[in-house]
């Protein structure tokens, strides 16, 4: 079938047709005859979201810079496009060469959030590829997946041939190259997967079989192939300063969520917030030098013509060269007329100086994430921010003329009581009062406090992986309670949809049995579940019933300290002993300091050197 001819007709009928055309600046189109292995990077959400993801840019170029490999892209098509494609039998195709994805050699899905899992199944189906790995013949592409959610790959184990755990910029091209070479020898997928078993970071689910206890928990994880590793160690790039980072980037032709130059200054975080999966699974901290970061930033800006630059890391101001780097970039941004955005900035004095410099009179909102309403609960979650920190920074901001404050909290954290919820209202009210104190009430009409409350989702490989999640009823009750408390003049209160949080929790800590529910949900037409307008609780309930899944077993159950987890086969580097120790300290509301002030023994040093453990010990 000539997709290109048919496609031209479809593009005239759909919303935002540019999602499906490629042809951006930076796009690399290779002739299939000249490459050994054709890889397809799959983002299981819309083009606009996927193209805002920096990981895509890195992997796209790191693969394409190999002459004999190619990387093309696919995204989840919009519902209107999908309908037309299905009606006219047009399979999902890559943007670069409009190749049906079943003709590619390897397809790799990025797992950024659990609620995109049904899109993965839908995309395979749209490509005419059997969903179950066991039903795919050797002439079908190899299907792999990586990204943060791969740290518990089990819900997707039936669908994916192999997972890549950890840093991908070396592992992915290596695997594509190997598959290209292996295919030439005419070997089977099975033999190929066996041959990858020694590679750090590779998990082949078919070589393992979980055995369950009668109560549904995991009894043991049985190996079905003796050479498969007992646990799969995460792949870690020790030196990101010399790791590949693109200086040329794909520049979307249509507006995307983020459309800007991005440089990663550091990977990992030392703060040790107990709810935060990223803070655990990206250890240890690895930094890019300020020179390299600046060079990348300026090259990207020059290449793309972007007028915005963002620094990417889990905690912008913890980057040890933040000060010299940002001062140099500020000079540059004046000369060359671009703006700089700094996510997750800690609001100390230097940050305010920087923000004032950057915004020059145009002040956007001040953002804070206290996460919990009382000091006790903040100690439980190890969020080392005090009320003095919050009010001090807000006071400073008000003095400088800022007129809006955004606050982020979580609800349903372990040990939470209604007193902690009162604390959320308290902080919002106090900030409002602080405003009157500082300004004497001038401009009170414009001053806005927005408090957003997300539902806590316990994640694997965190100290809270043993903890139950609040039931939907409990969340609803708490939302209602807080809504009453938050009826404060000048304060806006937002909260998150409860049901999606339960499903997110289900798949975050799901086992292979939950994959059946995923399959059933796909059959019922579930897709784009992360989008409130598309999430359909009725279909999901049907799916759970058919797969015989009791969701509360996964979400609301407190796990025993001895329990074997489905994801125990994956070794992210942080030891289970450390996580358990942190869990116990949380129960006593004991904080654990940032490990730059002294190593806290998280276990990562067994996998790699930890350059920042204790570096600030003498300060």
Q: How far is the CB of 39 from other proteins (least distance, A)?
A: 22
Q: How far is the CB of 260 from other proteins (least distance, A)?
A: 11
Q: How far is the CB of 303 from other proteins (least distance, A)?
A: 7
Among 3, 27, 474, 556, binds other proteins (CB under 8 A): 27
Nearer to other proteins, 99 or 351 (CB): 99
Say how far apart CA 360 and CA 339 lie, in whole Å: 11
Q: Check binding of 1 to other proteins (CB under 8 A).
A: no
Stretch of 302-310, 342-350, 438-446, 583-591 contacting other proteins, by CB under 8 A: 302-310
Q: How many CB atoms lie within 10 A of CB 163?
A: 27
Contacts of 46 (CB under 8 A, 6+ apart): 19, 75, 76, 78
Say how far apart CA 305 and CA 260 lie, in whole Å: 9
Stretch of 8-16, 55-63, 499-507, 566-574 contacting other proteins, by CB under 8 A: 8-16
Nearer to other proteins, 40 or 251 (CB): 251
- Which residues, 207 to 266, sit near other proteins by CB under 8 A? 251, 253-255
Collapsing DSSP states into helix, strand and coil, what is residue 339? strand
- Which residues, 304 to 323, sit near other proteins by CB under 8 A? 304-307
Stretch of 14-22, 311-319, 351-359, 574-582 contacting other proteins, by CB under 8 A: 14-22
Stretch of 4-12, 112-120, 438-446, 449-457 contacting other proteins, by CB under 8 A: 4-12
Say how far apart CA 123 and CA 130 lie, in whole Å: 11
Nearer to other proteins, 138 or 336 (CB): 336
The candidate with the shortest Cα–Cα distance to 159, out of 507, 534, 502, 458, is 507
Q: How far is the CB of 21 from other proteins (least distance, A)?
A: 4
Stretch of 19-27, 128-136, 164-172, 539-547 contacting other proteins, by CB under 8 A: 19-27
Contacts of 480 (CB under 8 A, 6+ apart): none
Q: How far is the CB of 3 from other proteins (least distance, A)?
A: 12
DSSP per-residue letters across 31-71: -GGG-SEEEEEEESS-HHHHTT-HHHHHHHHHHHTSTTEEE
Collapsing DSSP states into helix, strand and coil, what is residue 108? strand
- Which residues, 513 to 552, sit near other proteins by CB under 8 A? none
Q: Check binding of 444 to other proteins (CB under 8 A).
A: no
Query: Is cis: bond before 284, omega within 30 of 0?
Result: yes
Q: How far is the CB of 114 from other proteins (least distance, A)?
A: 32
Among 1, 9, 242, 417, binds other proteins (CB under 8 A): 9
Nearer to other proteins, 10 or 521 (CB): 10
Q: How far is the CB of 18 from other proteins (least distance, A)?
A: 5
Q: How far is the CB of 312 from other proteins (least distance, A)?
A: 21
Cβ atoms 377, 426 nearer than 8 A: no
Among 224, 302, 400, 480, binds other proteins (CB under 8 A): 302
Cβ atoms 91, 128 nearer than 8 A: yes
Residue in the structure block whose two tokens are 């509301």: 589
Cβ atoms 41, 60 nearer than 8 A: yes
Say how far apart CA 230 and CA 424 lie, in whole Å: 45
Q: Check binding of 23 to other proteins (CB under 8 A).
A: yes
DSSP state of 317: G
Nearer to other proteins, 300 or 317 (CB): 300
Nearer to other proteins, 254 or 547 (CB): 254
What are the CA-CA distances from residue 600 to residues 73, 121, 128, 568, 597 (Å)? 41, 41, 50, 22, 9
The candidate with the shortest Cα–Cα distance to 272, out of 596, 606, 614, 609, is 596
Among 113, 244, 303, 408, binds other proteins (CB under 8 A): 303
DSSP per-residue letters across 176-244: HHHHHHHHHTT--HHHHHHHTTTSTTEE-GGGEEEEE-TTSSEEEEEESSTTS-SSEEPB--S-TTSS-
Nearer to other proteins, 260 or 509 (CB): 260
Looking at the DSSP bridge assignments, the partners of residue 455 are 411
Q: What are phi and psi of 573, to 5 degrees?
A: 110, -35
Nearer to other proteins, 308 or 426 (CB): 308
What are the CA-CA distances from residue 108 to residues 120, 233, 234, 332, 419 (Å)? 10, 20, 17, 38, 46
Q: Check binding of 17 to other proteins (CB under 8 A).
A: yes
Stretch of 17-25, 164-172, 283-291, 474-482 contacting other proteins, by CB under 8 A: 17-25
Nearer to other proteins, 305 or 611 (CB): 305
Say how far apart CA 516 and CA 155 lie, in whole Å: 8
Say how far apart CA 563 and CA 407 lie, in whole Å: 36
Number of residues in contact with other proteins, rule: CB under 8 A?
Answer: 23
Nearer to other proteins, 139 or 335 (CB): 335
Nearer to other proteins, 338 or 565 (CB): 338
Q: Check binding of 28 to other proteins (CB under 8 A).
A: no
Stretch of 303-311, 351-359, 508-516, 585-593 contacting other proteins, by CB under 8 A: 303-311
Say how far apart CA 60 and CA 235 lie, in whole Å: 19
Q: How far is the CB of 445 from other proteins (least distance, A)?
A: 20
Cβ atoms 277, 461 nearer than 8 A: yes
Nearer to other proteins, 248 or 348 (CB): 248
Nearer to other proteins, 12 or 558 (CB): 12
Q: What are phi and psi of 30, to 5 degrees?
A: -110, 150
Stretch of 171-179, 284-292, 297-305, 530-538 contacting other proteins, by CB under 8 A: 297-305
Q: How far is the CB of 598 from other proteins (least distance, A)?
A: 48
Nearer to other proteins, 11 or 564 (CB): 11
- Catalog residues that contact other proteins under the rule CB under 8 A: 9-13, 17-18, 21-25, 27, 251, 253-255, 302-307
């Amino acid at each position: 079938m000539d997709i290109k001819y048919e496609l031209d007709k479809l593009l005239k009928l759909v919303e935002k047709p540019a999602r499906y055309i490629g042809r951006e600046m930076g796009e690399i189109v290779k002739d299939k005859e000249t490459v050994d292995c054709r890889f397809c990077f799959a983002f299981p959400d819309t083009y606009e979201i996927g193209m805002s993801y920096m990981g895509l840019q890195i992997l796209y170029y790191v693969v394409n810079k190999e002459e004999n490999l190619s990387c093309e892209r696919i995204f989840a098509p919009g519902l209107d496009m999908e309908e037309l494609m299905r009606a006219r039998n047009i399979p999902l195709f890559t943007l670069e060469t409009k190749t049906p994805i079943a003709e590619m050699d390897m397809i790799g899905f990025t797992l950024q959030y659990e609620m995109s899992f049904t899109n993965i199944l839908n995309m395979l189906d749209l490509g005419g590829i059997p969903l179950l790995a066991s039903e795919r013949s050797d002439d079908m592409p190899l299907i792999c997946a990586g990204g943060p959610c791969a740290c518990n790959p089990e819900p997707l184990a039936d669908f994916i041939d192999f997972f890549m755990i950890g840093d991908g910029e070396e592992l992915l091209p290596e695997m594509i190259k190997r598959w290209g070479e292996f295919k030439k020898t005419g070997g089977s997928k099975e033999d190929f997967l066996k041959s990858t078993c020694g590679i750090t970071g590779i998990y082949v689910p078919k070589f393992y079989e979980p055995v369950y206890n009668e109560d549904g928990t995991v009894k043991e994880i049985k190996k079905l192939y003796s050479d498969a590793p007992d646990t799969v160690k995460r792949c870690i790039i020790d030196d990101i300063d010399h790791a590949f980072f693109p200086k040329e980037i794909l520049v979307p032709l249509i507006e995307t969520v983020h459309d800007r130059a991005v440089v990663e200054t550091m990977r990992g975080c030392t703060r040790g917030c107990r709810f935060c999966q990223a803070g655990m699974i990206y250890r240890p901290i690895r930094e890019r030098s300020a020179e390299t970061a600046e060079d990348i930033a300026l090259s990207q800006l020059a290449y793309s013509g972007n007028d915005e630059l963002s620094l990417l890391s889990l905690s912008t101001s913890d980057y040890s060269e933040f000060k010299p780097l940002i001062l140099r970039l500020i000079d540059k941004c004046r000369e060359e007329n671009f703006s700089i955005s700094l996510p997750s900035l800690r609001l100390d004095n230097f940050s305010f100086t920087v923000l004032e410099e950057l915004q020059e009179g145009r002040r956007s909102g001040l953002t804070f994430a206290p996460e919990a309403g009382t000091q006790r609960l903040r100690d439980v979650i190890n969020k080392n921010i005090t009320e003095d920190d919050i009010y001090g920074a807000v006071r400073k901001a008000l003095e400088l003329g800022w007129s809006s404050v955004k606050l982020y909290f979580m609800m349903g954290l372990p040990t939470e009581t209604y007193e902690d919820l009162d604390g959320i209202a308290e902080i919002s009210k106090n900030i409002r009062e602080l405003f009157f104190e500082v300004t004497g009430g001038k401009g009170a009409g414009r001053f806005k406090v927005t408090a957003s409350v997300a539902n806590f989702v316990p994640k694997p490989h965190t100290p809270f992986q043993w903890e139950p999640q609040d039931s939907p009823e409990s969340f609803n009750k708490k939302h209602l309670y807080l809504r009453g408390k938050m009826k404060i003049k000048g304060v806006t209160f937002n909260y998150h949809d409860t049901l999606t949080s339960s499903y997110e929790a289900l798949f975050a800590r799901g086992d292979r049995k939950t994959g059946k529910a995923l399959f059933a949900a796909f059959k019922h037409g579930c897709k784009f579940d992360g989008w409130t307008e598309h999430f359909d609780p009725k279909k999901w309930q049907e799916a759970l019933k058919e797969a015989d899944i009791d969701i509360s077993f996964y979400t609301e159950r407190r796990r025993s300290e001895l329990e074997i987890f489905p994801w125990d086969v994956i070794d992210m580097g942080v030891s289970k002993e450390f996580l358990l120790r942190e869990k116990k300290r949380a129960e006593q509301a004991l904080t654990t300091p940032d490990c730059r002030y002294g190593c806290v023994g998280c276990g990562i040093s067994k996998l790699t050197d930890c350059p920042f453990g204790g570096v600030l010990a003498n300060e």
